[in-house]
Amino acid sequence: MPSRAVMSVDEARAWLAEVISGAERLRLESVDDDRVVAVTGPDCLELRLDGTISGPAMFWAMDLTGFVAVTVLIGPTPAMVLAHSSISFLEPAEPGELRVTAEVIKLASRSAVVDARASDRRGALVAASTLHFALPSRATRAALRADHAVRAGG
């Protein structure tokens, strides 16, 4: 992936805490040029009746980590939305921490494709997902960032 990260892990953490309700449930471990690693749980992940981590909880973590992976490449983009996704639940996830790795595999002017994988506390791969994010035009992104900077006092 030829794109370079425009945000450090500390900047991504601060931005995430500012824009996402409940972001403290996701702990960013690392940010590279095309990959973000995050950990969530164990207290903030909903469990199914059989005691395994629920599918919606795993999807939430994978979606949010993918969102951060795109953001660190293009900068804060409030109008970015998840346009499509597919997820495969590979095996029940043991309760405890869930580690998600999200890699941007394609970044175009109006879309981004992310490959996300989740592993449970045993290190077992429990889910894999492809996430497609729709991006506003570059001009719109620049205007949104400028507006945000004015409102933030910078």
Condensed to tens digits (0 to 9), the pLDDT of residues 122-137 reads: 999 999 999 999 998 7
Work out the average pLDDT over 30-52.
85
Residues 6+ apart with CB under 8 A from 120: 53, 93, 94, 96, 97, 98, 99, 126
Work out the average pLDDT over 107-119.
95
- What's the confidence (pLDDT) of residue 1? 44
Give me the chain's average pLDDT, please. Answer: 88
2 pLDDT tier (thresholds 50, 70, 90): very low
What percent of the chain shows pLDDT beyond 70?
A: 90
∠ Cα 135 140 141 (to 5°): 60
Work out the average pLDDT over 111-129.
97
Q: Are 84 and 112 in contact (CB under 8 A)?
A: no
pLDDT one-digit tens code per residue, 61-99:
999 999 999 999 988 887 789 999 999 999 999 888 999
First to last CA, the chain: 31
pLDDT at 60 over 80: yes
Q: Please tell me whether residue 28 adopts helix, strand or coil conformation.
A: strand
